[in-house]
Structure 1
Amino acid sequence: MNVRAIEHVGITVPDMEEATRFFVDAFGAEKLYDMLDEPLGGPEVEAGLGVPPGALITVIRMLRLGNGPNLELFSYSGVQQAQPVVPSDFGIQHICIYVDDIDVAASRLEKAGGILLSRPGVLPGGDAGSGNRYVYTRTPWGSTIELVTYPSAQAYERHTHLRRWRPLPTGPNDYENQAE
């Protein structure tokens, strides 16, 4: 088996156009394509995705986001839907987007309709390092997104040769303090 990376993250949204605008305005996402020519549902879809009877996928849209995984947005109809999970719920509870300037990214997210749950703060513990920061946020429909930046080596790097995946550097000073 050769695992290379996460290819995409799927997010169910209540309004496809609002969600697309949010990801474009907040993160510069690019709309690549809509996957369906007509709604998709029925017993095979219900069984294959583990969704309730009557669930109908009305739109699937693929977005490109920087040099990380793509975002696949889903819009459903025909079934009652629960509120988005919060970090204390079981299951996949947030996505994290790496940004170069967390203050600018946080401001842009707010202008796009997102909510900051706090101001950007210093990354603790194994993630600590000069300028390494994070903030948790919410989309307009309530999904949790973490913004993170770690331009310096992280504290855990002193104790192991193993390294987390990180986005490709974009400039000559990126990762200048990174441990080898």
Structure 2
Amino acid sequence: MEKSTRGIDHIGVTVPDIEQATLFFQKAFAAEVIYDNLAAADEPKSGQQVEQSLGLKPGTTEMRIRMLAVGNSANIELFQFGNVSQRQPVIASDYGLQHVAFYVDDIQKAVEQFTQSGGKLLSKSNKLSSAAESGFGNQFVYGRAPWGMLVEMISYPAGINYPADSQAKRWTPAQ
């Protein structure tokens, strides 16, 4: 079978304030602004086409859209909507996208940057313990961004112990 998919281009995240979210991602993960698809100076978008293309509630307005780059990985597209009531972010047991994971070289430094940027940890960092992911220094920790989105920081400097029947290698950002 011929592959038509190259990989993940971006992850879309709805935020209450695009400037606050941008600042958080810049401070916590050294994100860089690529461009705005819908800038503050642009007219907000609304109507049936906008609602239909994103599956939005009737009356929802697209206020801002911004694309961020984070290291050598998929991009993050931030959305800010208006004129609609919004729910709290999902928790891991809910259906759908539950978290975004950032590969970090130094988990303690990443935790420090994350919390200094307004993120809140759910626990201390933990060892990766599955047979495939265990190894010296392999760790993870979850936290919540200032608006409640679940974020993971992960590091596996000892590598991955792929089982014999593995069909692919896990993508990891270049050093």
- What TM-score do you get using the length of structure 2 for normalisation? 0.92
Q: Does the alignment pair 1:128 with 2:128?
A: no
Partner SS for 2:96: coil
* Residue of 22, 25, 28 corresponding to 1:26: 28
Deviation at 1:158, TM superposition (A): 4.3
Gap runs ≥5 in structure 2: none
**How far off its partner does 1:133 sit?**
0.3
SS at match of 1:38: coil
Distance of 1:153 and 1:28 partners within structure 2: 24
**What code does the residue aligned with 1:39 have?**
P
Question: Within 5 Å, which residues of 2 pair with 1:5-154?
Answer: 5-36=7-38, 37-125=42-130, 126-154=132-160
Number of aligned positions between the proteins: 168
SS in 1 for 2:136: coil
Deviation at 1:98, TM superposition (A): 0.3
Q: Which amino acid aligns with 1:166?
A: T
Name the SS of the counterpart of 1:22 in structure 2: helix
Displacement of 1:65 after TM fit? 0.5
Alignment partners' CA distance in 2, 1:41 and 1:130? 51
Taking only aligned residues, the RMSD between alpha carbons, in angstroms, comes to: 1.1
Residues of 2 paired with 1:130 and 1:11: CA distance? 33
Gaps of 5+ in 1: 171-180
Distance 1:152 1:160, change over 3 A: farther
**Equivalent position SS for 2:21:** helix
1:160–1:151 distance in 2 versus 1, CA, 3 Å: farther
The more displaced of 119-128 and 133-142 is 119-128
Report deviation, 1:139: 0.1
Q: Please report how far the alpha carbon of residue 41 of structure 1 lies from its aligned counterpart in structure 2 after TM superposition.
A: 1.2
Amino acid corresponding to residue 112 of structure 1 in structure 2: S
Q: Distance in 2 between matches of 1:120 and 1:108?
A: 14
Q: TM-score, normalised by structure 1?
A: 0.90
User: How much has 1:102 moved relative to structure 2?
Assistant: 0.6
Cα deviation 1:27-67 (Å, max 9, x = unaligned): 11001211123211100111111101000010001111000
Give the Cα–Cα distance (whole angstroms) in 1 for the partners of residues 69 and 170 of structure 2: 22
AA aligned opposite 1:12: T
Deviations 1:51-102 (A, max 9, x none): 0100001000111100001110000001111110011111110010000001
